[in-house]
Amino acid sequence: MNRLKIAFIGAGSAVWSSTIVIDLLINKGLKNLDIWLMDINDWRLNLIYGFAKRYIEELKSDARVFKTKDRREAIRDADFVVNSAMAGGHWYYERMREVSEEHGYYRGINSVEWNMVSDYHTIWGYYQFKLILDIARDIEELAPDAWFINVANPVFELSTLITRETRVKYIGLCHGHLGFLKAVEVLGIRLAEEKLGERVNALCAARDPRGYATLFKVVDLRELEVEMSGFNHVIWLTKFRYGGEDSYRYVDEWVERDAEEYWRVWREHVTSPFDIDLSPAAVDMYRTYGLLPIGDTVRGGTWKYHWNLKTK
């Protein structure tokens, strides 16, 4: 039986690579995998290689894992090429943003989508665009039948470039849609009070496991129907139904009855700058546009939320 070759470019991106490797190895429908890990950083490459090798051994999988610093070797005859590389790495990224700020550019995201003059694409983006185009050219030459799956940012702009300038079979992936789970949290908070007479709003705001345990009792995920529309960093919850009924009414109830308490507790416990899916800005955007913003949509926003650091 032919083996399936999957190449990871920028495999040293440990969060992405380890997650995808796990998904591949626990998928019982995938057999005879050859996983090729490519990165230019020895330490990062060896880290993810050691992880993958051990995981394969513990699962007693028939998969094989290889490592290389040669991008063309990884791509040659691949069936799938997954890219998570950042040109120059995070150090270069931050240095370019510092230089940009010295010349008045705004440190932000979504400059194209929200019409900001930020540094995200205008200053830092060139080498990232060049890198992904070089990878796509290698695929055209060395693995013309492969699917090119890109998870590196900026996904929307890179996807536009590749689909316009190359002939590769391409998919751009953004995981931001998973932010819909915060809408499910709101649904559960309201259902817990409606069905059980329990108030778990503050517990959920504090990220207390007891609150989420109650949510699992009242929310049947099989009854949930959601749809997100948009593109990378600009995603909206366009359908939110539970038990066949529109569930945006639960969002409205939460905004009216629970949001202020939630924010008060949330501010005391929040530890991540990305934990903003139910923030005041998210609710303000919902009131403005009529749809709940998902994931980084909130973090980007428009100039309204970025006049100064306090506002942001």
Q: Residue 165 belongs to a domain with what CATH number? A: 3.40.50.720
Are 147 and 225 within one domain? Answer: no
User: Residue-wise pLDDT tens for the chain (312 aa)?
Assistant: 689 999 999 998 878 888 889 999 999 889 999 999 999 999 999 999 999 999 999 999 999 999 999 999 999 999 999 999 988 888 888 888 788 778 776 665 544 445 455 556 666 788 899 999 999 999 999 999 999 999 998 888 899 999 999 999 999 988 888 899 999 999 999 999 999 999 999 999 999 999 999 999 999 999 999 999 988 778 999 999 999 999 999 999 999 999 999 999 999 999 988 899 999 999 999 999 999 999 888 877 776 776 666 666
Which pLDDT value is given to residue 308?
Answer: 66
CA–CA separation, 36 vs 184, rounded Å? 37
Catalytic residues: 175, 296
H helix or E strand, kind and range, residue 56? helix 42-59
Which pLDDT value is given to residue 312?
Answer: 65
Which pLDDT value is given to residue 175?
Answer: 82
Give the sign of the dihedral formed by CA 312, CA 14, CA 3, CA 27. Answer: negative
Which pLDDT value is given to residue 111?
Answer: 45
Whether residue 222 is contained in a domain is answered as yes
Which pLDDT value is given to residue 274?
Answer: 82
Domain count, the chain: 2
Going along 156-210, which residue ranges are E strands?
Answer: 169-172
Which residues constitute the domain of residue 13?
Answer: 4-85+124-173
Which pLDDT value is given to residue 119?
Answer: 56
Are 230 and 167 within one domain? Answer: no
Whether residue 111 is contained in a domain is answered as no
Whether residue 79 is contained in a domain is answered as yes
Tokens 């057999």 correspond to what residue? Answer: 31
- Joined together, the tokens standing for residue 130 give 């060049």
Are 255 and 193 within one domain? Answer: yes
Are 200 and 227 within one domain? Answer: yes
Are 164 and 244 within one domain? Answer: no
CA–CA separation, 109 vs 92, rounded Å? 17
Whether residue 93 is contained in a domain is answered as no
Whether residue 142 is contained in a domain is answered as yes
Whether residue 140 is contained in a domain is answered as yes
End-to-end CA distance of the chain: 56
Which pLDDT value is given to residue 1?
Answer: 63
pTM: 0.85
- Joined together, the tokens standing for residue 249 give 């009414």
Question: Contacts for 154-157 with beta carbons within 8 Å, 24 or more apart?
Answer: 154/112, 154/120, 154/121, 154/125, 154/128, 154/232, 154/233, 155/231, 155/232, 156/112, 156/113, 156/231, 156/232, 156/233, 157/112, 157/121, 157/125, 157/129
Whether residue 99 is contained in a domain is answered as no
CB 215 within 8 A of CB 282: no
